[in-house]
Amino acid sequence: LVGIVTETDILGAFIHQVESGHAPESWCQPASTHMHSDPVTLDPNVEVGVALDLCLQNHIRHLPVVEGGQLIGLLSDRDIRLGLARSSINDAQAQSEGRLSIPNIRVFSVMSQFVIPIEPTHFLVDAATIMVKNKISALPVVSKGKLLGMLTQTDILRHFAAHFAEGDSSKRDLA
């Protein structure tokens, strides 16, 4: 094994292609053309178990947390795992008994409050750059304080890969 290539690594390579002028114009499309509109959202007082069910049912890894119509946080599958792990460590009796039930943890206690929203007019490459620089994999798309959608690394990579596959094979050196 030499190494592992992650989505972030690939996204970084595509950003480099754009910055070096070796990318088609289609890579500079607005976020609104590739975001998931009308995302599933959460109330901050919902239990983490409900959030986990929503992630599994909808095949998503990020849930915007909204209160009073305003985006106040973002809950990822990783936040859920970390929150559940902390709770398991704190519940020594549950561990000794081998209980695997999801404890009564509220979304607000494990969500990320540091959220970087983007406008629907942001270019995909700009969104990708924000994700790579901040080590995040999803951005809420917001206009005038209203959540319009979610844009993920996977959304961007699907677009880049589709256009990359259509391109000239001589331009396939992403390093």
pLDDT per residue as tens digits for the range 40-91: 999 999 998 899 999 999 999 999 999 988 999 999 998 988 877 666 555 5
Q: Chain-wide mean pLDDT for the chain?
A: 84
Confidence class for position 166, pLDDT limits 50, 70, 90:
low
Where b means 16+ CB within 10 Å and e means fewer, 15-53 reads bebbeeeebeeebeebbbebbbeebebbebebebeebbe
Pairing label, strands 36-37, 70-76: unpaired
What's the whole-number mean pLDDT along residues 164-171? 54
Confidence class for position 145, pLDDT limits 50, 70, 90:
confident
Residue 44 corresponds to which tokens in the numbers above?
């901050």
Whole-prediction pTM: 0.80
Give the pLDDT score at 15.
85
Q: Give CA–CA dist 9/104, Å, rounded.
A: 36
Confidence class for position 130, pLDDT limits 50, 70, 90:
very high
Statement: residue 172 has pLDDT above 70: no
